[in-house]
Amino acid sequence: MNQTAILWLEIAILLPLVGGLLLTQLSDAFYARRWAIVISGLSFLGTIFAWGFGEQAALSESSFSIGRLVAGRLLVTVDSLNAPLLPAVAMLQFLTALTTLRTKIRRFSFGWALVGESLALLTLAARDEWLVIAAASLATIPPFLELRQRGRPTGAYAAHMLAFVVMLVWGWAVVQAEGGGRVHTLWAVVPLLGAILIRTGIAPWHCWMTDLFENATFGTALLFATPITGACLAARLVIPVAPDWVLRGMGLLSLMTAVYASGLALVQGEARRFYCYLFLSHSAMVLVGLEMKTAIGLSGALCVWLSVIVSLGGLGLTLRAVEARQGRIVLGDHLGLYDHMRPLAACFMVTGLGTVGFPGTLGFVGTELLVDGAVTMYPYIGVALVVAAAMNGIAVVRAYFLLFAGPPCRSTVSLAPGPRERIMVVAVMALVILPGLLPGTTTASRYRAAIDLMQRSAREQGMPLPLIEAPGHPGHPAADTHPAH
């Protein structure tokens, strides 16, 4: 069965690319939505099959693949790092298409959203680094087109994304020129690092993200930001080649951003900006964990990454559903929406708590591991991560009370969520709570991915492979020793 995993993944990537490009030519928005739901649903199924049919499928030389037919080699892979992330990203796209209401379908471009999904999946799954860079660079175009189409300012977004693409290409070109098996020079590492910091939204290079959330449609901004493609680029391009002190610098900047963004999330008066800062804080936390190079810290970061896609993605979809009824939401006074939309209120609370790592949710163990790793790595300033988590928790509950508490909002029409939104609510809550109640499998899978990442990094830098106890992990003989921190 493993032979078909790559094929399923390629279908999951190609289907939205082709479908999306065709849908951009359609003028009937209702028709486009219907097709977008079908295509993204099939793509989601494809990623599920790819995940289910084995993380080691890429190693099989006999596996059938479209890439091999076209380019003579495998172009994409399913590995321990990307296996659960691919379905999570595809699911987010599917649920976004599914819950786009009639009031919004003329503003939201389903075609470009599908193209963006395809490029996001390709960024996560590509084997060749240049393909990763190409996919990540091309993925910046659909939001730009939407901003221009809507007549919104593009300056901040375009400037940052241009810098991101240039630095990414420049950095990797120098890495290639210098060759493998060594620690690379600053000429290679610094541009790469800069590109990652910009794409992940690390302060002070994060303003494009708030600008995007304010000016693009919520759906586009959500789909572009939430997969945290920057973390994938960091894991694939920077961590294996960068010296430790550069990674530490990146970690410190990320740590400061996590606290700073959580503080700003606390004082936001607009729901979109609140969401954006909450996201920035969590993406910075993921980056903090990725640079740690300890099994625990990395596992925590990978768990939080998955949790952010599912929980924060769900929170974004919930906010989007509320916004579709209320218009732009101002978090100034209590809106009193609870009685109108109880399922959305429940989903907001569950996904919000999942995001901040509340016990019994997907993010709990990840946050624990991440904080544990951060305090080990930075004994004093690692405490900042706990401060950030605490402030994010307060920001989420504050937003909940401002949205759903207060004198009941009066409306002449029903504001209750429709059947499609109810499906989204149930799916998201189940995905946040069930793995949270039984976190063993998810954590073990993320731990394996962390070990793979560490070993790859050691190989790239020509250092001895760390011996890591990993029972049941193929390719890694079980050892009693623990890795040196």
Partner 1 sequence: MHDLLVTWLGVIVVAAPTVQVLILGGCALAGLALPERVIGRLVQTCMFTGLGASLGMLALMLTFGTRMEILSLGNWVDIPEYHFMLRFEFDRLSIPFALLTFALCGTVGAFANRYMHREPGYARFFCVYALFVFGMIIATLAGSIETLFAGWEMVGLSSALLVAFFHERPSPARNGLRVWSVYRVSDAALLLASIALHHVVGSGDFGHILENRSWPDGHAASAITPQLAFLVGLLLLLSAMGKSALVPFSGWLPRAMEGPTPSSAVFYGALSVHLGAFLLLRFSPLLDVSPGLAITTTVIGVATTVLASLAGRVQTDIKSALSFASMAQVGLIVAEIGLGLRYFALVHILGHACYRTLQFLRAPTLLHDYSLIENAMGQRVRNSQGSFDASRVRPGLSRWLYRFSLERGYLDALLTDYIVRPMLGLFRTCERWERQWTALLSGRRIESPRPDLPTGPEDFR
Is residue 386 part of the contact set for partner 1 (CB under 8 A)? yes
Candidates 42, 59, 173, 383: give the one binding partner 1 (CB under 8 A).
383
In the complex, the smallest distance separating the C-beta of residue 2 from partner 1, rounded to whole angstroms, is: 25
* Residue of 129, 271, 303, 294 whose CA lies nearest to 282: 303
In the complex, the smallest distance separating the C-beta of residue 359 from partner 1, rounded to whole angstroms, is: 4
* Cβ-contact 280, 207 below 8 angstroms: no
* Residue of 29, 212, 35, 40 whose CA lies nearest to 107: 29
Quick note: the x/- pattern for partner 1 over 218-257, rule CB under 8 A, is ----------------------------------------
**407 vs 464 by CB, closer to partner 1:** 407
Output the six-digit token pair for 274. Answer: 């609140």
Is residue 455 part of the contact set for partner 1 (CB under 8 A)? no
In the complex, the smallest distance separating the C-beta of residue 477 from partner 1, rounded to whole angstroms, is: 13
Is residue 474 part of the contact set for partner 1 (CB under 8 A)? no
Residue 307 carries which side chain, given as an amino acid letter? S
Q: What secondary structure does DSSP assign to 209-262, as a single string?
A: HHHHHHHS-HHHHHHHHTT-HHHHHIIIIITTTS-HHHHHHHHHHHHHHHHHHH
Is residue 424 part of the contact set for partner 1 (CB under 8 A)? no
Task: Return the bridge partners of 270, or none.
Answer: 330
**52 vs 336 by CB, closer to partner 1:** 336
Output the six-digit token pair for 254. Answer: 């990320």
Residues 289-308 that bind partner 1 (CB under 8 A): 295-296, 299
Q: How far apart are CA 326 and CA 103, in angstroms?
A: 11
Residues 153-212 that bind partner 1 (CB under 8 A): 153-156, 159, 207-208, 210-211
Residues 317-346 that bind partner 1 (CB under 8 A): 330-334, 336, 338, 342-343, 346
Is residue 434 part of the contact set for partner 1 (CB under 8 A)? no
Contact region for partner 1 (CB under 8 A) — 15-23, 70-78, 235-243, 402-410?
Answer: 402-410
In the complex, the smallest distance separating the C-beta of residue 173 from partner 1, rounded to whole angstroms, is: 27
Q: How many residues bind partner 1 (CB under 8 A)?
A: 74
**93 vs 445 by CB, closer to partner 1:** 445
Residue 360, number of CB atoms within 10 A of its CB: 13
Is residue 264 part of the contact set for partner 1 (CB under 8 A)? yes
Candidates 429, 449, 453, 454: give the one binding partner 1 (CB under 8 A).
429
Q: What long-range pairs does 56-64 form, CB within 8 A, spacing at least 24?
A: 56/2, 56/474, 57/2, 57/3, 57/4, 57/5, 57/6, 58/5, 58/6, 58/127, 60/2, 60/3, 62/3, 63/2, 63/3, 63/4, 63/5, 63/6, 63/7, 64/3, 64/4, 64/6, 64/7
Is residue 372 part of the contact set for partner 1 (CB under 8 A)? yes
Contact region for partner 1 (CB under 8 A) — 19-27, 82-90, 190-198, 260-268?
Answer: 260-268
Is residue 260 part of the contact set for partner 1 (CB under 8 A)? yes
* Cβ-contact 205, 260 below 8 angstroms: no
Residues 63-122 that bind partner 1 (CB under 8 A): none
* Cβ-contact 129, 51 below 8 angstroms: no
How far is the first Cα of the chain from the last one, in angstroms, to the nearest whole number?
A: 39
